[in-house]
Structure formats: structure tokens, C-alpha cells
Chains A and B, each alone.
Chain A
Amino acid sequence: MVKLFALSIFHKGASEARLLKTTADLQSFSFFQRGTVNEFMTFASKTIVERTQPALRQSVKQDAYMCHVYVRADNLAGVLIADHEYPHRVAHTLITKILDDFTAKVTADQWPNGTEATISFDLLPAFLARYQNPVEADPLTRMQNDLDETKIILKNTIEAVLERGEKLEDMVSKSENLSLQSKAFYKTAKKTNSCCSFA
């Protein structure tokens, strides 16, 4: 499937990444899963931003999803979660474009202490809807021919992004941003190795 699920913008601070704006399209998930999926997407995005060096691009595969991250040299970071068939090059072009637009609208002094409520930037949902079809991004890709695809670091799982000694399971159970329900969901889904079928 060629699909975009979520788009978010972070500021990477010294100790942790701060979520500035996010949007998601979760219609393809079943109704009661959506809340949990949303929490996990934000959790994964934040985790990866925190473990990506400035001026670096990464694409991290997790199950059928692909998490594309770009942390700029000025610590502004963009994350795009897509299906693994969405072209990587287009995904990274989009992140660059979104961060440029964001910088033009929101001055840098608001980043370190901003929250979703204080930052006024509401273009993300329109972006997410429009670029579901990667052909729409074609003019953009041609404009930004300087994006060097070989510089995108590919990782096969989120675990591969973590630092030595870190374990995803511990991080999930320690996280304050995941609800109890989501943690239970994660445990059960992990046990049955599937999130949408019983038996």
C-alpha cells in the first residue's frame, strides 16, 4: 500500500525532543485501535528523533511501517510515518519542504519551549491529505535534486536505533506518554504477534 499515516515536527533539545505539531490519518485502523496507534506513532517518532544526530536523515522500518526522520543542523526535526511502499526519496523531500514552511511561519525562538497549543501552524493535515499520492510531490522532487539518497541511513527496526543497553520493552513500560491501555495493548499484541486478529 502507498500510504502516509502521520506527520510531526519536533524540536530536539539537549535531553529530550519536544513535540511542536502533529497530525495523523488513522482511518485504515480499526476503531478501537486508533487511540493506541496514535500514541505509539508519537512515541516512536519522539524516540527516533532523540536518537538521530543533527544534520542526519534516517529511515527506520518497523513491521509494515517506515519512519522517516530528518533532524536539521538547527535541531528542528520532522518525522513522517508511511507505509513501506511510499517512496523514501519523496518522503524525505516532503520533510524538508515541511520544515522550510514551518521555519517561515514560526520563528526559532518559539521552538525550545513551544507546545502543540502555543505553536500556530496548521498546514500539516492539508499536507498529509495531498501527498497521499506521491505523484503530487513530483514537482517538489525535481526542484530538490540535491537530496542525496545515499546519505539516508536505513535501519531495519526501531531496536537498531536505540543506544547500547536500551530495550524497547522497558522504554514502553517506563514511558509517561503511553496510557495504561496502550501498554496492555502492546503486551497483548506482542504475545499474539498480531494486532488485529483474535485466535
Chain B
Amino acid sequence: MEMEEELNEKKVLCEKIITDINAVFLKDQDLASFEIIPKETNCNKSPVVHVEHNLGLESWCAQHVYDHAHRTLISHRRQSSAQQLRTLQQQQQSDSLAKYLNVALLINPDVTTFWHIRRQLVQKNRLSINKELQFSALVLSIKPKSNEAFAYRRWLYSFQSADAIDWPNEIGICERAADRCASNYHAWSHRQWILQSGPCLIQSELLRTEKFMRKHISDYSCYHYRQVLLGRAYELNFALFNDSGAGGSLPLASLQLLMANYGLKCEPKAEDLLQLLLPHVDLSSISSQRLRSFLYCCNVAANDMRLCAEQRLMYGLRDCFDLHRRAALKFIVEQCVRLQMGLASGQPLASEAEDLRSHLSTFDFDKHPFLDAVRRTESSLGGKHRRWCNLHLSFGYPAD
């Protein structure tokens, strides 16, 4: 009898806390973060804290509240569909379902079933898409690595037209999540999805990712995203001109510096660089847009190679610096060889990748001063690097 009373008391308390949290949701349209505040004992005050658009729940009650919400939701799910329909017909009921869902997912964002119930409610127009976007962003504030939350956002956006989506805001959400949690590949995958689905964000993304890489020096997830970004820029024939000077020119300083590092002198002019990168190629057979994008993207890759070298001087050895430098080098070498072979299309197809490999393995480096210089210089970077060059660039160094 006593135990039952105690249980009942607990239930009332949990209901009260869930109602309090719901009240905050209703009152504050701009809720920015949720977190559990470590506090071991009940001080006879409400454990729901709401300050400047931040919501906190004291840790002593989190487990009880979660258990209660979980039990309520599961028992709802166990009802027959006829019963569910009857209860759902009453708007009030679905509201209260939402309040349990909110609390349960904020405390434990990994329960797919609960996300699924939300989807069902959205499909029945019981939850608004905008509110749901806000809620999933709130979940990301407590768990930046929640793949469920990112997937849910993509699902929600499938009901909206691309013009109606606030893409820069979406990028901001990814960036905050990646900033707070290292190796957050879920956030970067979501950002790749934005890159594929949204408007052309390449220019701002190139700036943002470089800044991010300078701060998160050993987080390879962002370096990887930048490699994808560069590939995408090339695929879209993207090129950007310098603002200064009449008509604007391509930024080519990094590429010129790269040439100098390989012992090749040239002016930072498009004609000179093309002569070095693509000798024996009939340039008139390639569209000028393709050539411009080729130079632009190679310049970005050259910039990254220099950045990695500088970072290495500043911070010492890091895998990220070496790996990213290799990826950038591979990009330049492969695009040179592809154009040399007459593969001017942006998209590297699967079959083409095979072609590229066989071309590379039979490529006559002696006839290509730039690639030959690369091959000579890179060989001084150690046995491990030489093996990598043999494997990926078919440089054909003798085995150690």
C-alpha cells in the first residue's frame, strides 16, 4: 500500500515536470539549447530552469522523468490502431503525446521509435514542420552527433521546395554541431547533402572550411569535407575571379608558388600555368569555362598544400596535415592527367576511374615537365610517401 502511494507520488511529480517543460516550449519560441544540469538532490524547487532561451533540467529527476515519458509513449503505441485513432481524433490527446515525445527525445535522442512517432504525427498534420525543425535543432544542441536528428531534418525538408529552405541557417547548424564535437561525420554528411541539394554555396564554403581547418587542426572530418567540396567545385565548372583589377583575374598565386616549390618558374598568368600543367594539349579543344575552373580548383588545392606545410611548422606532425596534402596533390595530378587524356567532363564516372588508372600507369612522365618535377621532388618525402605515390599516382618509384 505504501509503495503504491510512493509510486503514485512519483508519477504526479513527473507529470508536473513534463507539464513545466511543455510550458517553456509554448512560451519561448526561440529556445536555443537544452541540457541536463548536474545536481544530485531535490531542493524542493522546480528542476526545470529557463534562462535566456536556454532550458535546463536538473539531473536528479532526469531518469524518472524519462522512464515515465517512455512508459506513456510505449503504452500508447501498444494500443490497437482503432483505439489510437479514437484518441488521436481528440486534438488535445496528440498535443499531450507531443509533450512526452519532446521530453523523452531531449533526454535520450537515440530512440528511433520516438522519431518515427513524430514522423507519423507530421504526416497527419498534427505537428508543424517549422516547429519540428526547431525541435530537432534543440536536440542537436544537447547531442551534436545525433544522426537521427539530421536525418529527420532531411525528411522534413523533402516536403518543402528548395527555394523555401533557409540554407545558410542549415549550414550554421552543421557548423555548430561540428565545432562542439570532433569527428562529427554526421554533421559533415548533412552538409554534403546541403551541397548537393541547395544553391551554389561553394565560394562561402571554401572560406568557411579553411577557417574551420585552422582551428580544428586534428579533426579530419572537416578536411574530408573540403576534399568533397573541391571535387564538387570542379564538377560544377566553378571559378571565381579576383575583385581587384579591371575585369578581374583568376587567383593563381598559390599555384605559382607551388610551381616554384617544384623548381618551375612562371608568372601567375593563366597562359603560362596552362603551358606548364597541360603541355601538348590542344587547349582550343577544351571549353574556356572548363580551363578556368581547372586553374581555379588547382589553385585551391595548391593553397591547401601550402596551408598543410605551414600548419606543420606551427603545430608539428599531425596525420591530418599529411593526409590532406596528399589528397590535394592527388587532385592536381589526376586533373592534369585527365585533361591530358581528353577527359574534359566534370564528373569522374566509375568506368572513367578505371581508364584514369591505366592511363596513369602508362603515363610518360618524362614528356611532362610539371609532373616529372613533382615525381622527382616528392620522392624525398620518405619511403611511406613513396609507396603511397606508387599506389595512387603510379609514380613508379623503385621499391625500397
Which A positions have Cβ atoms within 8 angstroms of B?
Answer: 1-3, 28, 30-33, 85, 87, 133-135, 181, 184-185, 187-189, 192, 195-199
Contacts and interface: CB of A to CB of B under 8 A. Distances in A.
B217 interface: yes
17 contacts: A1-B216, A28-B179, A30-B35, A30-B141, A31-B35, A31-B56, A32-B35, A32-B49, A133-B214, A181-B39, A185-B39, A187-B38, A188-B39, A188-B59, A197-B143, A199-B107, A199-B108
Contacts, number: 61
B315 interface: yes
Interface of B: 33, 35-40, 49, 51-52, 54, 56, 59, 62, 107-108, 141-143, 179-180, 182, 214-219, 314-315
Contacts of B39: 181, 184-185, 188
Residue among B38, B56, B62, B218 facing the most chain A CB atoms (10 A cut-off): B38
Given A2-B214, A2-B215, A31 B33 contact: yes
B38 A188 contact: yes
Contacts of A2: 214-217, 315
A198 B40 contact: no
Given A85-B218, A198-B59, A32 B40 contact: no
A196 B142 CA distance: 8
Contacts of B141: 30
Contacts of A181: 39
Contact of A87 (B38, B51, B315): B315
A38 to B, nearest CB: 15
A114 B364 CA distance: 74
B35 A184 contact: no
A2 B54 CA distance: 27
B214 A198 contact: no
A185 B38 contact: yes
A30 B314 contact: no
Residue among B36, B56, B108, B182 facing the most chain A CB atoms (10 A cut-off): B36
Contacts of B217: 1-2, 85
B314 A87 contact: yes
Contacts of B54: 31-32
A112 to B, nearest CB: 38
B73 to A, nearest CB: 17
B180 A32 contact: no
Nearest to A198: B36
A187 B35 contact: no
8 pairs of A and B residues whose beta carbons are closest in the complex: A188-B38, A31-B54, A198-B36, A32-B56, A30-B35, A185-B38, A32-B37, A2-B215
A31 B37 CA distance: 10
B38 A189 contact: yes
Contacts of A189: 38
B40 A184 contact: yes
Contacts of B219: 1
Contacts of B107: 198-199
Given A2-B214, A134-B314, A188 B33 contact: no
A123 B206 CA distance: 33
Contacts of B40: 184, 187-188
A192 B215 CA distance: 29
Contacts of A184: 38-40
Contacts of B179: 28
A157 B37 CA distance: 26
Contacts of A133: 214
B38 A3 contact: no
Given A1-B182, A30-B33, A188-B59, 5 more contacts: A32-B54, A85-B217, A135-B314, A181-B39, A198-B62
Given A188-B59, A198-B62, A198-B107, A85 B37 contact: no
A69 B291 CA distance: 54
Residue among A2, A31, A187 facing the most chain B CB atoms (10 A cut-off): A31
A187 B41 CA distance: 12
Contacts of B59: 188, 198
Contacts of A196: 35
A59 B112 CA distance: 45
B104 to A, nearest CB: 12
A111 B180 CA distance: 38
Nearest to A190: B38
A195 B59 CA distance: 12
Nearest to B66: A199
A2 B212 CA distance: 10
